Structure formats: structure tokens, C-alpha cells
Amino acid sequence: SDTMDAADTRAWMGRFFAAFDRERQALTDLDRRSGDGDFGANLRSALGRARAALDEAPTATPGDVLDVVSTAFLHTGGTSGPLFGMWFRQLAKATRTEVVGVAELARGFADGTATVRRLGGAGPGDKTMVDALVPATEALTAATGGLADALAAAADAARAGAESTADLVANRGRASYVGEVARGVLDPGAVAVALIVESLRG
Ligand code: ADP
Ligand code: MG
Ligand code: MG
């Protein structure tokens, strides 16, 4: 199908929760090497709240599902919680119709990524989640085929963006305190973005 509804969006989040459960320790290890080691715990607390809230909340549109996830992140500590929360909130705003397609997703990714950049002050190359969000957004925006092709392109772009952070030295966030020490270490926020976007593929 070339559209997504609320059930598809719940399935997307379910795949993301499962991917995170598999990768939690690895993400924590990345944050231990470049930051303070709480990334996995921060994300786990957000996703625990998101899961519980989704069990209770009636959701008629993709945006309703994403709003629940947004709220769960906004109530989470760490730098990444509020940034992911605002990213999901913008995506939710763009997806409040019964079904959405590539155009709505691209708009939501663009608005969410712009908000993260404005709030955090990071741009591409600063070794943050922005390094995965920007190429994923560009891939969705440039997509000309159907939904499946667009999501595959976005997933590949997000993963490549996350991989690119290994070579970078951070200019934002805690990783900037350790500078060269974190060269060679992937940014955990960017890897989490890759998991989110890869999970969009059914
Ligand atoms: P904290 O540093 O507060 O412990 P987390 O561990 O929750 O934060 O999240 C760390 C992630 O947050 C980093 O991997 C990076 O992707 C992201 N991040 C940190 N600072 C910024 C920023 N200014 N802009 C965008 N993303 C950021
Ligand atoms: Mg941390
Ligand atoms: Mg912290």
C-alpha cells in the first residue's frame, strides 16, 4: 500500500521498540564512550511510557499514535528525550489524517528536524542525531517512487548518516567535552534515529 494508517503506525513503533530492546546495551556503550552512559536508560524510560500509554490511548490517525510517543519522550530526562519528543510532535502534526503518504511523512520529518536543529543548535557534521535526521529527511523529500521505495531510501540514508558520525568530533552535547577521545565512536542519538527510520520499513 502507498499509505499508512494508525495501525501501521503502531506496527512501526512496535518494530522500533523491539529494535531498541535488541540494541539498548550497544547504545549505552556508545554513550559511555562519548558521553555519560545514560542514553539506553533514558530511551528505555521513554519507550516504557510510550508502550503503556499506547495500550490505553484510542488512536484514529498516525498523528494520534505519534503524539502519544512524543509525550512519553518529552517527560524523559537527558538531552535526547526532549529533542526526540519535539521531533515526534512535529511529525504528529503533519500526520493527523486517517491515512498518510510519502508527502506527509516528508513534511513531518522536515518540520521535526528543523525543530531539533533550532532547539539544539546542532547542524550536520556536529556528531549528533541531526547527522541521521537530515539525510533521512532529504531521502524522503526526494523520493519519487511509492511508499516502500521511499522508506527504504530513508532507512539507508539514516543508517549512512549514523555511520558517518564515527569519523566526526562533536561540537554539541556531552561528546563535545571529550573531543578527539570520541573519534571512532558512533553517536548514540544518530544510531537511534537509524533504528527509528529502519523500523518504518514493514
Ligand atoms: P545527555 O547528554 O543529556 O546524557 P542523552 O544521553 O539522552 O543526553 O542523549 C545523547 C544524544 O543526544 C547524543 O547522542 C546526540 O545525538 C544528542 N544530542 C546531544 N546534544 C544535542 C544537540 N545540541 N542537538 C542535537 N542532538 C543532541
Ligand atoms: Mg547521555
Ligand atoms: Mg545524561
Task: Specify the amino acid at residue 19.
Answer: A
Output Rg (C-alpha) for the chain, integer angstroms.
16
| DSSP conformation letters of 149-198 | HHHHHHHHHHHHHHHHGGG---SSSTHHHHGGGGTTPPPHHHHHHHHHHH
pLDDT in tens, 106-133: 999 999 999 999 999 999 999 999 999 9
Has residue 185 been placed in a domain?
Answer: yes
Q: Please, which residues have CB less than 5 A from ligand 3, an ion?
A: 36, 38, 78
Helix (H, G, I), strand (E, B) or coil at 95: coil
Helix (H, G, I), strand (E, B) or coil at 10: helix
pLDDT for position 127: 97
Domain hosting residue 150, numbered range = 6-200
Task: Mark 118-140 as b/e (b = at least 16 C-beta within 10 Å).
Answer: eebebebbbbbbbbbbbbbbbbb
Has residue 1 been placed in a domain?
Answer: no
> What residues are in contact with ligand 1 under a 6 Å CB criterion?
31, 35-36, 38-39, 42, 78-80, 83, 116, 120-122, 128-130, 172-174, 187-190
Q: Is the pTM of this model over 0.95?
A: yes
* Domain CATH for 79: 1.25.40.340
Has residue 133 been placed in a domain?
Answer: yes
Has residue 59 been placed in a domain?
Answer: yes
pLDDT in tens, 85-94: 999 999 999 9
pLDDT for position 42: 96
Atom of ligand 1 nearest to the CA of 173: 20
State the DSSP code for 186. Answer: P
Q: How many domains does the chain have?
A: 1
State the DSSP code for 187. Answer: P
